[in-house]
Chain A
Amino acid sequence: MFKYLKQLTSLVAMVAVLFTFTTESMAAKKSKTLKNTQKKGFVRCGVSQGLPGFSNADAAGNWTGVDVDVCRAVAAAVLGDANKVKFTPLSAKERFTALTSGEIDILSRNTTWTLSRDADIGLTFVGVNFYDGQGFMVRKSSGITSTSQFKSGISACTNIGTTTELNMRDFFNSKGISYEPVAFEKADEVVAAYDAGRCDTYTTDKSGLAAQRTKLSNPDDHIVLPETISKEPLGPVVRQGDSVWEDIVRWSLNAMIEAEEYGITSANADSMKTSENPAIKRLVGAEGELGAAFGLDNEWSLRIIKQVGNYGESYKRNIADTGILPDRGPNQLWTKGGILYVPPAR
């Protein structure tokens, strides 16, 4: 009996080795990052130090947010389990160095896609998971309802090392207003200083303002002004030079958005396998060989949808239901009046 058991074990082990070998051989040849991730057993993901709705850890250390979900989607696609992610909280200042030095493999940290970042510093932006723009928050009691009421001498709290600092200068310069920039390294200090009254206004991406507003002592005493002074397309970033990994992250995000477009949700994904629509069947892995292109099996996108959900579910869970930005605004599908439009997965 034991003899057979032993043989059986070795057979299983052999099959397992063979299986790993075959799945790995396709991927490993192409992507070092994918190989390392599969070897380690978790996706290394850089996130913010706490921005509700985007990447925020609860008391038990569980990360949630739309940025977090991008990393979870990649983990579901690559490793089969959306929970196999190691999150590294990074300040705005540290984030790119952490990525280029190889400490993390995906940076999903409300990061604005700009030309200089994309071209200059060894990074590649793979897409946009949130269309944002910079705005201002002020105290209601100040009576300010528009940025046109700003006067010279205004002090503005913000974070260092962000596009915010540059936009702020462009904005105030174009209006001919002199201002006092008070720039902190961490968002929590910005909130505390603004809350205490150090600054007349707090400026950052509007989604950030909406999220940070919830951390103020009396959120209702503050309003976000209607003006948007910049374009801030936020999205996940990877290191330059690993195009397979880049594709995996890009299409993990795209799969979530396209799943919403076709009405595939975490609840109905399995039943969608029998759909009439070939586009849906491709997304749930019932047709075609989409995964093979980047060395994954065919159910990579099905796992993403089942474990993480589609983009709409992620948005609702993290941003709408938490009261941060109930209105999806531009972050609505193109079919519903928004600007979310992804290339077809085929």
Chain B
Amino acid sequence: MVPQLITVLAVILVFGFFTYNAQINMENRGIDFGYGFLSQESSFDVQFSLIEYDGSHSYFRAYLVGLLNTILVSVIGIIIATIIGVIIGIARLSPNYLINKFAAFYVEFFRNIPLLLQIFFWYFAALRALPLPQDAEAMFGVFFLTIKGLYVPAFIWENLNIFFYSIIAAVVSIIIIKTYAKKVQETQGKQIPVFLIAIGLIFSLPLLSFLIGGVNLSFEVPKLKQLATTSFIYEGGVSLPPELIALTLSLSLYTATFIAECVRAGIQGVSKGQKEAAASIGLTTNQVLKLVIMPQALRIIIPPTTNQYLNLTKNSSLAAAIAYPDLVLVFAGTALMQTGKAIEIVSITMLTYLSLSVSISILMNWYNKKIAIKEK
């Protein structure tokens, strides 16, 4: 008890000393402390924002812009990294020599090059390789991949809410059918092909909303606009800046290598006997994978994969190097410079990353508990 008290006291004293020291130094140098600047007008613009923003909004709004951009790149990155990671992880166990070696090469190559270099590579390689807007060939007639970004058609919806309702209805009915199917299997031993029904529902209900619900979708295709003799852009549609594309690509390709290793370890961690035993009671290969191998493998895969998700989120702060306006660039960069509120802004930024990471951890721990062995 006494050593613990002393430790706590020491920690408080150390923090107290640093705070006091910082206060004195800031006072001596005429810097005032306070978060009041958050409501001031920011007077700088940001390239890419998910919410309405320009320089006439507040610094707090600029913070939100940066935060949402960080979340955007992290979420897309996590999804793509997981997909690539699972595919490569399984490919590494493939008996096919070519697939197996390719996967191994991929993992070794991408995880051994520093991430910042990869970000620069993808960004500047993309800038060098991509055509100028006026030279771009349309992909499928509507997409334009150019040095200034990927231009995609904008969706123009009519009765969008009915479309959403149809999706909600589909999801609810799938849950009901799944519960019913489980009951039927437990009481009568009969199996209902839930998966096929689910796929059917998720497509057919929204389709019905188009046919009879009055939902309509049209596209606004980007059009070339001339700014000067050799300077063009696309207007209309939605543009994804090359910074976002390069960052997402490099983060996903890099993190996927680690996830692939987690997946491989997870699958190899399930003993061969399990598979053979499952096969011997007459389960099909798919059933073996779904009912026996995966539930056990996931328990090994999830905890280290959580770390990778956290890494990806934190690594997204490297965005500043290639002008993607994430939290670090917008808030801990421009806003810090314009206000000079270093301690305030860095503390907010640190707390934000901490909260993001903790949220991901909580979510993944919840999922991990859900799939953990339940003693019955």
Binding site for B on A (CB under 8 A): 92-93, 96-97, 100, 116-117, 120-122, 138-139, 141-144, 149-151, 153-155, 157, 160-162, 165-166, 168-169, 173, 179-186, 189, 192-193, 196-198, 200, 239-241
Contact = CB atoms under 8 A, between A and B. Distances in A.
A166 B323 contact: no
Contacts of A192: 124, 127
The size class of the interface chain B forms with chain A is 35 or more
Interface stretch (B27-35, B95-103, B206-214): B27-35
B43 A197 contact: no
Given A122-B30, A192-B124, A241-B29, A181 B333 contact: no
B340 A182 contact: no
Main SS of chain A's interface residues? Answer: mixed
A190 to B, nearest CB: 8
Given A151-B228, A179-B45, A184-B323, 14 more contacts: A100-B29, A122-B30, A122-B31, A139-B231, A144-B228, A157-B323, A161-B338, A165-B44, A165-B334, A184-B322, A185-B321, A192-B124, A192-B127, A241-B29
Top-7 shortest CB links A-B: A121-B340, A161-B337, A143-B229, A122-B29, A196-B127, A142-B228, A122-B31
A198 B245 CA distance: 14
A221 to B, nearest CB: 10
Contact of A182 (B28, B124, B229, B323): B323
A166 B338 contact: yes
Contacts of B47: 180-183
Given A169-B44, A184-B323, A198-B242, A121 B227 contact: no
B235 A153 contact: yes
Contacts, number: 129
Interface of B: 26, 28-31, 43-47, 55, 124, 127-128, 132, 147-148, 225, 227-231, 233, 235, 241-243, 320-323, 325, 329, 333-334, 336-338, 340, 342
Contact of B147 (A151, A168, A181, A198): A198
Contacts of A121: 31, 340
A162 B338 CA distance: 8
B46 A240 contact: no
Contacts of B29: 100, 122, 239-241
B132 A197 contact: yes
Nearest to B325: A183
B228 A189 contact: no
Contacts of B55: 166, 169, 173
B323 A154 contact: no
Contact of A96 (B132, B233, B321, B340): B340
A234 to B, nearest CB: 16
B340 A120 contact: yes
Contact of A92 (B31, B127, B225, B337): B337
A63 B77 CA distance: 41
